[in-house]
Amino acid sequence: MTNVVVNAETNAELVDVAIVGGGLVGASLALALAPTGLRTALIEGVAPDATAQPSFDDRTTALGNGTRRTFEALGLWSQIATQAAAIRRIHVSDAGRFGFARLDAAEHGIEAFGYVVTNRVLGAALQSRLRGLPDLRWRVPARCTAVSIGEQTVELQTEPESLPLRARLVIAADGANSRVREAAGLGADIEDYAQVALVAHVRAARAADGTAFERFTPNGPFAVLPLHDGAYGVVWTLAPAEAERVLQYTDAEYLAALQQAFGWRIGRLQTVGRRTAYPLRLSRAQTLVGRRVALIGNAAQGLHPVAGQGFNLGLRDAATLAELLAEVVTRQGAGADIGAPSVLEEFASRRHADRDGVTRFTDGLVKLFGDQRAGVPLLRDLGLLLFDLSPTAKQAMSRLSWGFAGRTPRLGRGLGVMP
């Protein structure tokens, strides 16, 4: 751990960067910044090993190939890979109708479209690396209670640690209800999908073989993802009242209902683990930056889990920001003003195309397959069949795991963050 630097005049601890939110994206940024020499503080309200830590639970995350490269560059992938399941095939279908599409990674000359890992595995890998960083100041567990934004620095008050923290740049990685975003006066557009995701791990008669299933139903999308141990991660989207009812089912009742909804593609469902529920909504900050503040991850945009793009998009936020700050430090030295308006405007510019494209794509999928107006399901199914017959369309889809548009950050290409 770094030694504490305190300004005698203001009686505040001084850092270059303060990251508020130590979940997967915030922790990844802290690790990515390590080679820059910037004194960084990480503030997180829940200890990483606490059962209440929402970022490091048993939910599954689909990692795109760009994310795998990023974790390779950060020295994490070797620890994650043994518990990651490769997605080698994807089967998309419109429940109860004739539309379907299939994708095979081998046909596109790649090992996998992505990898499925539990958040707990990702969190453990990140924490093991963060603990040894010399320029990282921990405030975990600590709650950010006040944010005061000045011309040159931002002052953060935290509890239980009473010494104020002053930073030249504050990164909001504190989720869709970001306190930092609110303090910076950055608005967000929020749309409730009126859906709840029921998440569980199940085992079936047929062990997972690298095939991911995405099934669209009138209630919402339904994902069945392979896990490294042969089990499946299930994300079952339902209307809130129906989700509440299903949560009350016994294991046997849940498996029977799940079998009826999903079908028999993986054989008889046999066992289910703990079930959890998460309300789904789209949140999108109107801008990524304010005075000495930048937003990443869910503080910048929270997406529907369909297509598994949320974490990958947030990690590209972090990778892009780390690369930009590394460039500024390299050009201007240790005294560089990393929170200057020109720096933040450049960050927002670099993230615009990817962020806008992925958000529109994800939101469009939810609404397209939820549209039951006369004629729409028929056109949708015809579109799926045409997609299944088009190598060009499939090739374009296979590239989504690297990002939607714009420049790929150095970490996403497997390179170090320093130029």
* Full set of structural domains in the chain with CATH: 6-82+119-190+286-375+394-413 (3.50.50.60)
Residue 98: predicted pLDDT: 73
Residue 342 has pLDDT above 90, yes or no: yes
Residue 59: predicted pLDDT: 83
Residue 184 has pLDDT above 50, yes or no: yes
Percentage of the chain modeled with pLDDT above 90: 73
Residue 1: predicted pLDDT: 42
Which of 138-142, 250-254, 285-289 is predicted with the least confidence, judged by mean pLDDT? 138-142
CA gap 246, 115 in Å, rounded: 28
In terms of pLDDT, which residue wins out, 335 or 111? Answer: 111
Dig out the tokens for 202 from the structure: 């199940």
Dig out the tokens for 218 from the structure: 């009138």
In terms of pLDDT, which residue wins out, 59 or 238? Answer: 238
Mean pLDDT over the full length of the chain: 90
Percentage of the chain modeled with pLDDT above 70: 94
Q: Provide the pLDDT confidence category of residue 114 given band limits of 50, 70 and 90.
A: very high
The H helix count followed by the E strand count for the chain is 11, 21
Residue 368: predicted pLDDT: 81
CA gap 36, 136 in Å, rounded: 12
Residue 198: predicted pLDDT: 95
Q: Provide the pLDDT confidence category of residue 134 given band limits of 50, 70 and 90.
A: confident
Residue 3: predicted pLDDT: 54
Query: Using an 8 Å Cβ cutoff, are 214 and 90 in contact?
Result: yes
pLDDT digits (tens, 9 = 90+) for 365-414: 888 888 788 877 777 778 777 776 778 767 777 777 677 777 899 999 99
Residue 216: predicted pLDDT: 85
Highest mean pLDDT among 283-292, 326-335, 403-412: 283-292
Widest pairwise Cα distance in the chain:
71
CA-wise closest residue to 195 among 256, 278, 266: 278
Residue 370: predicted pLDDT: 81
Residue 85 has pLDDT above 80, yes or no: yes
Residue 112: predicted pLDDT: 95
Residue 395: predicted pLDDT: 79
**Would you call 162 exposed, middle or buried from its count of C-beta atoms within 10 A (0-12, 13-18, 19+)?**
exposed
pLDDT digits (tens, 9 = 90+) for 8-50: 456 789 999 999 999 999 999 999 999 999 999 999 988 766 5
CA-wise closest residue to 126 among 143, 113, 140: 140
Query: Using an 8 Å Cβ cutoff, are 184 and 294 in contact?
Result: no
Residue 162: predicted pLDDT: 83
- Would you state the torsion angle of the CA atoms of residues 82, 354, 178, 187, taken in this order, to the nearest 10 degrees? -170
Residue 53 has pLDDT above 70, yes or no: no
